[in-house]
Amino acid sequence: MAFMKKYLLPILGIFLAYYYYSANEEFRPEMLKGKKVIVTGASKGIGEEIAYHLAKMGAHVVVTARSEETLKKVVSRCLELGAASAYYIAGTMEDMSFAEQFVAKAGKLMGGLDMLILNHITNNSMNLFSDDIHLVRKNMEVNFLSYVVLSVAALPMLKQSNGSIVIVSSTAGKMANPLVAPYSGSKFALDGFFSSIREEYSVTKVNVSITLCILGLINTETAMKAVSGILDTNASPKEECALAIIKGGALRQEEVYYGSSVWTFLLLRNPGRRILEFLSLRSYNMDKFINNQALP
């Protein structure tokens, strides 16, 4: 106990202070001016608001979702708000070849890519899980696998620009909740995969940042409909949420927490996991992987 008090707690304190409060650069909207950004799931909800913020900041945007009609409106609003350019490409992220081709087309339209904001999800309702394997597969494909496909397709462009991948996740991707098992599974998968890739990038000196955004309940139409009569929590505004996501991405933060209490987020940040990740990385011999990866 004396050892704990004398050494462990101060070390823990310093470690946490370093990770959470290390002097971050201040966010300025000009950081996004002229940047080339993709936003998925941008026909409504948080994605739509992300597109509008980016437009106001003078970025180039390519938005996607399935419904062409709504995307058209989002693009014309973006142009009104001051986007350097704005395009849409409609399609479904159930289709992995669409996902791949989408990134190539978007890159061509903008002449490169600085930030890939992955935000779309398949529709869900809150329900007990019994045996709907089809729904689990759909959640894994749309909410997770397509994110991997999109990132792989975007990586060459992001390497060139020292760019960023921004992944929109949820508290349900960090802790258990009833009634959302397929969704939660797909959001946990994002954390496992992209946090792992982040460690690889750091070791192999790939300067592409990965930001995982952990959101509480946000007042989008879809979410309000889904939780109505089931969940009694305050919802945070989607506009402010969208801005928090962009800020986190621009500042190259590892994680963004928005839309729940300070206490929830303090606990979800899970210092135990951070310490273990930090320590376990040191027992790997990564040399033979670095040599292969360093080639352009």
Ligand X SMILES: NC(=O)c1ccc[n+]([C@@H]2O[C@H](COP(=O)([O-])OP(=O)(O)OC[C@H]3O[C@@H](n4cnc5c(N)ncnc54)[C@H](OP(=O)(O)O)[C@@H]3O)[C@@H](O)[C@H]2O)c1
Q: How far apart are the first and last CA of the chain?
A: 51
Interface with ligand NAG includes 81 (CB under 6 A)? no
Cα separation of 150 and 153, whole Å? Answer: 5
Fill in the per-residue mask, 22 to 41: x = in contact with ligand X (CB under 6 A), - = not in contact: -------------------x
Fill in the per-residue mask, 166 to 205: x = in contact with ligand X (CB under 6 A), - = not in contact: --x-x-----------------------------------
Nearer to ligand NAG, 157 or 212 (CB): 157
Interface with ligand X includes 65 (CB under 6 A)? yes
Q: In the bound complex, what is the minimum distance in angstroms from residue 41's beta carbon to ligand X? A: 3
Q: Which of residues 106-135 bind ligand NAG (CB under 6 A)?
A: 123-125, 135
Nearer to ligand NAG, 124 or 170 (CB): 124
Please state the separation of Cα 204 from the chain's center in Å: 22
Interface with ligand NAG includes 43 (CB under 6 A)? no
Tell me which of 70, 92, 101, 161 binds ligand NAG, using CB under 6 A: 161
Cα separation of 77 and 67, whole Å? Answer: 16
Tell me which of 166, 217, 243, 246 binds ligand X, using CB under 6 A: 217
Tell me which of 76, 162, 234, 270 binds ligand NAG, using CB under 6 A: 162
Interface with ligand NAG includes 211 (CB under 6 A)? no
Cα separation of 249 and 78, whole Å? Answer: 20
233 binds, among ligand X, ligand NAG, none (CB under 5 to 8 A by kind): none
Judge whether 147 counts as a catalytic residue: no
Nearer to ligand NAG, 16 or 136 (CB): 136
**Structural tokens at position 259:** 């839309």
Q: Which of 52, 87, 147, 183 is catalytic?
A: 183
Nearer to ligand NAG, 135 or 148 (CB): 135
How many chain residues touch ligand X (CB under 6 A)? 28
Interface with ligand NAG includes 186 (CB under 6 A)? no
Per-residue HEC secondary structure of the chain comes to: CHHHHHHHHHHHHHHHHHHHHCCCCCCCHHHHCCCEEEEECCCCHHHHHHHHHHHHCCCEEEEEECCHHHHHHHHHHHHHHCCCEEEEEECCCCCHHHHHHHHHHHHHHHCCCCEEEECCCCCCCCCCCCCCHHHHHHHHHHHHHHHHHHHHHHHHHHHHHCCEEEEEEEHHHCCCCCCCHHHHHHHHHHHHHHHHHHHHHHHHCCCCEEEEEEECCECCHHHHHHHCCCCCCCCECHHHHHHHHHHHHHCCCCEEEECCCHHHHHHHCCHHHHHHHHHHHCCCCCHHHHHHHCCC
Interface with ligand X includes 119 (CB under 6 A)? yes
Interface with ligand X includes 57 (CB under 6 A)? no
Q: Give contact residues for ligand X (rule: CB under 6 A).
A: 41-47, 65-67, 70, 92-94, 119-123, 142, 168, 170, 215, 217-218, 220, 222-223
Q: Residues with catalytic annotation?
A: 183
Q: Give contact residues for ligand NAG (rule: CB under 6 A).
A: 123-125, 135, 161-162, 207
